[in-house]
Amino acid sequence: MIKKILYIVLTLLLGVWVGFWANKTIKQTKPSIQITPTSAEAKPTPSNRELSSIASQSAFLNARDAIASLSASVSSLTINDTTFGPPAIELPLGFADK
Amino acid sequence: MKAIVSLLAIIVILLTPISFVSATAEKAYQDYLFQYDQYRLKLNNFKVARTEYLKFKTLLAETTALDTVKSMMIQRNSLLRSYLLLLTEKLNENKGLTVIDRQLYQKLIQNENTFLANHSQLIGSIGSISDATDVSKQLESHYLVLYAGIRQTLTALSLGELMNIDTQYKYNFENLRKLIDLNKSAVSPEKQSTIDRWLLQINNKQNLYQQKIEQIMTANSQLKGNTQLEMDELFMTIQKNLSEAKQYLSEGTSFMQELITLIQYKD
């Protein structure tokens, strides 16, 4: 009887140990979860503002596009373009100075 | 087969003038860069020969100095002429300049080209170092006039670019104003008041731009100096004013975009 109980206890202990070992091994081998930073995408805040009656007119859409195009033209304009500066030339021949 | 070849030939002939016209300023710029390289090379050769001549005063050194100085002076002339050609092409391509302004600066360049053509003929007749010095002095005494013309033309080119943008600015502003006038009934009085105030501010930016442009035009027409450095400083002031004029248009355009957003939505 005692032997039987001892077998049961030993079996239980062995089971617990096997379970513990198996759990530990799995934990070690399991690839660590890579936390990849998710890029915070800039999503436009859903506008609750209601569009006006002008917004759907073709004249409005044309004006909006034309102003955007004007804005691009202004931005791309270079005032101080040194590429076309005058050439640097030497003028006195330097015979008299020497 | 013959028909295909003929067709291809016709296509090539038809396309050639288009590509030629659009590439003219670029072609002139490439030529200018080439002439500049040649000038640097010939100037260097001349400097070496001049040093030899001033050091040893031998007949051989004198002959070499004379040959190289003539070669350098011819190249200096070609460089200036290629630069004037580049400016002419840039004037032709400029969309914002009025016909009168374009003709004015083209005439200015033409006068300088005539001077350089005459100067070129004199270089051909140089027979001694003393002759070379005298002929070079002719260009030296005229150079400030030529330089002022170049600086004035460069300013005119920038003015033309700005005027082109300003034309678009005024066109867009008028369109925006008309659009708002047509839809006045759809806007509340409070919003209309804001719109009117913003329109005024957009218009003010254009007025400030116009004042700056007039200031630049006056300064450009009076551009002269006793030295190249003096003229460079005046030119820098003009460039600063040109940047400020551009800034007014840029700010006004930003205001227009804000106004567009304002009228896009209901109150």
CA distance A71 to chain B (A): 6
Residues B133 and B183 in one domain: no
CA distance A53 to chain B (A): 7
Please tell me the distance from the alpha carbon of residue B93 to that of residue B80, in angstroms, as a whole number. Answer: 20
Taking the model in full, what pTM does it have? Answer: 0.78
- Reply yes or no on whether the pLDDT at A43 is more than 90: no
Q: Which residues of A touch B (CB under 8 A)?
A: 47, 49-55, 57, 59-60, 62-64, 66-71, 73-75, 77, 79-80, 83-87, 89-96, 98
Query: Which residues lie closer than 8 Å to B111 by C-beta, 6 or more apart?
Result: B149
Nearest Cβ partner of B265 from A49, A80, A96?
A: A49
Q: Which domain holds residue B251?
A: 163-264
> How many C-beta atoms surround the C-beta of residue B265 within 10 A?
15
Please tell me the distance from the alpha carbon of residue B175 to that of residue B259, in angstroms, as a whole number. Answer: 13
Residues B54 and B108 in one domain: yes
Residues B121 and B168 in one domain: no
Average pLDDT, whole number, for chain B?
Answer: 91
Residues B225 and B136 in one domain: no
Please tell me the distance from the alpha carbon of residue B125 to that of residue B16, in angstroms, as a whole number. Answer: 41
Residues B258 and B184 in one domain: yes
Predicted-complex ipTM score:
0.80
Please tell me the distance from the alpha carbon of residue B71 to that of residue A36, in angstroms, as a whole number. Answer: 69
Find where tokens 């200096």 sit: B76
pLDDT category of residue B224 using cuts at 50, 70 and 90: confident
Alpha helices by DSSP H, A1-98: 2-29, 58-76
Residues B128 and B169 in one domain: no
Helix or strand holding residue B39 (H, E): helix B24-56
Please tell me the distance from the alpha carbon of residue B63 to that of residue B53, in angstroms, as a whole number. Answer: 9
Helices (H) and strands (E) in chain A, counts: 2, 0
Question: Do the domain assignments include residue B66?
Answer: yes
Nearest CA in chain B to A98: B54
Percent of chain A with pLDDT over 90: 33
Instruction: Indicate which of B165, B167, B227, B261 best probes the interface with A, i.e. most A CBs within 10 Å of its own CB.
Output: B165
Query: Between A18 and B213, where is the model more confident?
Result: B213
Please tell me the distance from the alpha carbon of residue B192 to that of residue B173, in angstroms, as a whole number. Answer: 16
pLDDT of residue B22: 45
pLDDT of residue B16: 45
Nearest CA in chain B to A93: B133
Residues B139 and B23 in one domain: yes
pLDDT of residue A4: 75
CA distance B100 to chain A (A): 22
Question: Do the domain assignments include residue B9?
Answer: no
Per residue in B50-70, pLDDT tens?
A: 999 999 999 999 999 999 999
Please tell me the distance from the alpha carbon of residue B176 to that of residue B122, in angstroms, as a whole number. Answer: 61
Question: Do the domain assignments include residue B3?
Answer: no
Nearest CA in chain B to A47: B265
Question: Do the domain assignments include residue B79?
Answer: yes
Question: Do the domain assignments include residue B158?
Answer: no
Q: What's the whole-number mean pLDDT along residues A33-48?
A: 52
Residues B114 and B210 in one domain: no
- Reply yes or no on whether the pLDDT at A15 is more than 80: no
- Reply yes or no on whether the pLDDT at A1 is more than 90: no
Question: Do the domain assignments include residue B102?
Answer: yes
Residues B135 and B178 in one domain: no
**B161-184: b or e for each residue (b if 16 or more CB lie within 10 Å)?**
bbbbbbebbeebbebbeebbeebe
Structural domains counted in chain B: 2
Residues B93 and B129 in one domain: yes
Question: Do the domain assignments include residue B136?
Answer: yes
- Chain A environment of B243 (Cβ under 8 Å): 79-80
Question: Do the domain assignments include residue B26?
Answer: yes
Domain boundary among B108, B143, B178: B143
* B265·A89 Cβ contact <8 A: no
Helix or strand holding residue B112 (H, E): helix B99-124
Residues B90 and B137 in one domain: yes
Residues B177 and B106 in one domain: no
* Residue B202 token pair: 């957009």
| Contact by Cβ (8 Å): B73, B67 | no
* Residue B195 token pair: 């719109």
Domain boundary among B110, B143, B176: B143
Query: Between A11 and B81, where is the model more confident?
Result: B81
* Residue B106 token pair: 């083209």
* In chain B, residues 48-107 whose CB comes closer than 8 Å to chain A: 50, 53-54, 69, 76, 79-80, 83, 86-87, 90
- Chain B environment of A74 (Cβ under 8 Å): 165, 246, 249-250, 253
